[in-house]
Amino acid sequence: MPELLKQRVETCYQQAEAFFKRPFPRPQVSFKLRGQKAGVAHLHENLLRFNLQLYRENQDDFLRQTVAHEVAHLVAHQLFGERIQAHGEEWQLIMRGVYELPPNRCHNYEVQRRVATRYIYRCPCPQSDFPFTAQRHKLVRQGRRYLCRRCREILVYSGETRVE
């Protein structure tokens, strides 16, 4: 599946080269992006990272819009330099002029939120629930202490968990 995405990156570069009549160095393409972002352009590393899960779930729009969106960031950076805004007029020019696509800043793909367990810590203050992540809970078990900002007492694990 990622081969189609890599082909689309190459097509976007060929379109930009034909439009601007100059070559552009090809980026490294990574599929190690998770969470809510569909893609990220790392300007100084000439690197594109894509969210494989969102690609699988929204393949047509992702190939058309998201890939062009991220390539346009790298092309704009290489053409206009450091001082441009991420979604400014230079980037918009590339989206409209080169790719003939709307310069949408964000995608509207449905994103599944991760389920997270929170460990509830308390202090003597009223309504003092402090939901800790699993990582922070582990640090407490290893001896780290956390204090309430109001009463300065040590937060103590209540034995309760909550799923968010």
Phi then psi dihedrals of residue 35, to 5 deg: 95, -145
Interatomic CA distance for residues 92 and 57, integer angstroms: 26
> Where is the binding site, in residues?
69, 73
> Where is the binding site for Zn(2+), in residues?
69, 73
- Smallest CA-to-CA distance from 38 within 108, 114, 102 is with 108
Beta strand 47-50 pairing with 28-30: parallel
Q: Which single residue is written with the structure tokens 């939120």?
A: 113
The answer for residues whose C-beta is within 8 angstroms of residue 4's C-beta and 6 or more apart is 59, 63
The catalytic residue positions are 70
Element (H, E) at 11: helix 2-20
- Smallest CA-to-CA distance from 160 within 124, 121, 115, 114 is with 121
